[in-house]
Amino acid sequence: MTKLFLLILTSLVFIMSSNLTAQNPFFEEWKTPFGIAPFDQIKEEHYMPAIKKGMEDQLHAIDKITANNEAPTFKNTIESLEKSGQLLTTVSYVFGNLNSANTNDKMQEINKKISPLLSKHNDDINLNPALFARVKALYEKRGDLNLTGEQNQLLEDYYKGFVRGGANLDDEAKDKFRKINEELSVLSVQFGENVLKEDNAFEMVLDNEKDLSGLPESVRIAAAEAAKERGYEGKWLFTPHKPSWIPFLTYSDRRDLRSKLYAGYTNRGDNNNENDNKAILNKIVNLRIRKAHLLGYKTHADFVLEETMAKTPENVYNLLNKVWGPALNVAKKERAMMQEMIDKEGGNYKLAASDWWYYAEKIRKEKYDLNEDEIRPYLKIDNVIEGSFILANKLFRLSFEERTDIPKYHPDVKTYVVKGANGTIIGVYLSDWFYRSSKRGGAWMNSFRKQSAMDGKKVLPIIYNVGNFTKPTADTPSLLSLDEANTLFHEFGHALHGLLSDCTYPSISGTSVPRDFVEFPSQVLENWVLEPEMLKLYAKHYKTGEVMPNELIEKIKKAGKFNQGFETVEYLAAAFLDMAWHTLDKEEDRDVNKFEKKVFDELGLIPEIVSRYRSTYFRHITGGYSAGYYSYIWSEILDADTFAAFKEKGIFDKETANAYRKYILSKGGTEEAMKMFENFRGHKPAIEPLLERRGLN
């Protein structure tokens, strides 16, 4: 082979490589409004090369940090570390968000390949002895570095992150640690995929109109549209997705069909088929025990809770037990009311878990002259969204201007520019509220880009909200239930936490706070949904435009504490289940269903209530909320106490809102969580407002 031929071949390879690079949007500067991802240009084949290059770039940046002969400083070590991996972060946000909100088979296959690569990459950083030595040297003399409060917090977070990431382990233990992390990354992906497959696999197709007895017209229309979408023209389809199964269980007169659909929901991942999650969960739990022991912790819960407000499993159990007893007593009273109604109607059967929604709705109508279908016409999704914007304006003088020139990843997405009081743009907001089969269940908030201001360069946050509400049909708009309206405001609360962040470093900006604090700002916003002053501003009948009448508002208010025993117990049961799995300290091959039953039997959970999540579809605990599902009730203590501050001066009080923004929303994770709360409220959080709100005192 001649030198000339080799030169030509090398040139061709270089040209082809350059063309491939140029064709990948992740390797180009985005000329889009606000630098948002050009979703229409990004293809599945672009992710893996971009992820790999992002990892290479970050490791190269870290090599430069460790090769620096100068003594470590905050700037040449911590800030340099904070700036590393920008490409990887960008790609990971786009891929992760789309894989949750608009996935397909190709995306899921890529995720299986990416997860172990990212696990190894993170371990390569955390287990880099030269890098840890520089961070440790700074941490040990942090009192002499003249750092700002935010810089001190960032340094502490990095140091703890390295230690918790295995930096102090010996070489043999580090190898074990790597293997555990790699296996966990694969298993958690597989668990989530199985739940999504189960969500989409179960179908209850009805072809006789008599089977629809009791269902409101809006529910029938939505079911017909769902059936048509899946090729069941002229029939009605119901699935384990919340906008489908909850209305059916609430209104259907067919007890046998309620039972069938509920079983389809509660048995997900527990059908002994290719999507079964029992063995996977066992492996995840055992690997977490092994990892905790390697790091010197008794249990996975001890490891996780060290970095939360709760600190220890004992503190979590102390809180859960305080609420469990009163909640269970109320739930038993609710059960008795329902059984009494069944007996009065000549039902001749015992209340079952699949009956609860149906009889709760009947009692609500009988006792409070209120039914969900009476409320829905006033909760058109457009009005509820507008209501969340009105609230943000009244509290923080924000405005949301819809734009059609900002790229979006799906036609259902709406895009907004968010402006402050003086018209300054503070961020970009995307909302994606409607159900589709390509979206995982539930509702959430995340970022495509976090707020930061390193080197004086302000980076605007790009925040998105996702839900799974019923789509509008040709004849009917999307009408939300009260629970769904709460969900929308909840997720919007997370969004405001991201949008109103005012921090320097992205690692600790926005929602980068302890897990039992992150739900606090989201739950605070739920408080306004049913306030009469607020309802007058957004709850308008979708046909007439009439504002929700005072009589209906009064009925909603009177029924506000109804069914709180059930709602609290089904949630707490899941929180106890999470803790039970993660306070185990021995690796065993456990029978998942027997373990679950033992947990609930010991709690005294009544059979008429099923835990909000069973083990085999409890994605919170195989994802980011392991030993952390208690966070919602912990955060609710904070949010109930916080809303009490607003109630004292008026629910739109500017002074209280400004203080809440200053001490909570703008701070990200730059201060210790309890200190932030105390700075705002002036005292430690009290549990009494929560018990009062739920009617459990």
**HEC profile of 19-38:** HHHHHCHHHCCCCCHHHCCC
Per cent of the chain over pLDDT 70 is 97
Give me the pLDDT at residue 173, please.
Answer: 97
> Residue 14: is its pLDDT beyond 50?
no
Q: State the Cα–Cα distance between residues 694 and 562, nearest whole angstrom.
A: 9
Q: State the Cα–Cα distance between residues 372 and 250, nearest whole angstrom.
A: 9
Question: For residue range 553-599, what is the model confidence (pLDDT) as tens digits?
Answer: 999 999 989 999 999 999 999 999 999 999 999 999 999 999 999 99
Structural domains of the chain sorted by starting position, each given as residue range(s) with its CATH number in brackets = 35-168 (1.20.1050.40), 202-266 (no CATH), 278-370+565-622 (1.10.1370.10), 377-558+631-694 (1.10.1370.40)
Note whether 115 and 185 are within 8 A (CB): yes
Q: State the Cα–Cα distance between residues 361 and 336, nearest whole angstrom.
A: 15
Most confident of 371-380, 572-581, 618-627: 572-581
- At residue 372 the predicted structure's pLDDT band, cuts being 50, 70 and 90, is confident
CA 692 and chain centroid, separation: 26
Q: State the Cα–Cα distance between residues 407 and 94, nearest whole angstrom.
A: 13
Give me the pLDDT at residue 221, please.
Answer: 92
- At residue 697 the predicted structure's pLDDT band, cuts being 50, 70 and 90, is confident
Q: State the Cα–Cα distance between residues 404 and 686, nearest whole angstrom.
A: 45
> Residue 3: is its pLDDT beyond 80?
no
Distances (CA, A) of 325 to 317, 585, 616, 628: 12, 27, 26, 21
Q: State the Cα–Cα distance between residues 504 and 74, nearest whole angstrom.
A: 14
Question: For residue range 377-405, what is the model confidence (pLDDT) as tens digits?
Answer: 999 999 999 999 999 999 999 999 999 99
- At residue 476 the predicted structure's pLDDT band, cuts being 50, 70 and 90, is confident
Give me the pLDDT at residue 167, please.
Answer: 98
Is the model more confident about 542 or about 560?
A: 542
Give me the pLDDT at residue 21, please.
Answer: 52
Q: Is 570 a catalytic residue?
A: no
Question: For residue range 75-114, what is the model confidence (pLDDT) as tens digits?
Answer: 999 999 999 999 999 999 999 999 999 999 999 999 999 9
Q: Which helix (H) or strand (E) holds 145?
A: none
> Which two three-digit tokens encode residue 168?
């102090």
Question: For residue range 135-188, what is the model confidence (pLDDT) as tens digits?
Answer: 999 999 999 999 999 999 999 999 999 999 999 999 999 999 999 999 999 999
Phi, psi of 433 (to 5 degrees): -95, -15
Torsion of CA 220, 226, 230, 232, to 10 degrees: 10
Note whether 488 and 382 are within 8 A (CB): no
Which residues are within 8 A (CB) of 33 and not within 5 positions of it... i.e. 6 or more apart?
A: 403, 405, 406, 407
Q: How much helix, strand and coil, in percent to the nearest 5, is found in the chain?
A: 60, 5, 30
Residue in 361, 484, 491, 531 annotated catalytic = 491
Give me the pLDDT at residue 260, please.
Answer: 98
pTM above 0.85, yes or no: yes
**HEC profile of 198-265:** HHHHCCEEECCHHHHCCCCHHHHHHHHHHHHHCCCCCCEEECCCHHHHHHHHHHCCCHHHHHHHHHHH
- What is the pLDDT of the chain when averaged over all its residues? 95
- Going by the DSSP 8-state scheme, the letter that residue 268 receives in this structure is T
Per cent of the chain over pLDDT 90 is 93
- At residue 624 the predicted structure's pLDDT band, cuts being 50, 70 and 90, is confident
Give me the pLDDT at residue 686, please.
Answer: 86
Give the DSSP letter string of 419-465: E-TTS-EEEEEEEEEE--TTS-SS-EEEEEE--B-GGG--B--EEEE
| Helices within 510-563 (DSSP H only) | 515-526, 532-538, 550-558
- At residue 6 the predicted structure's pLDDT band, cuts being 50, 70 and 90, is very low
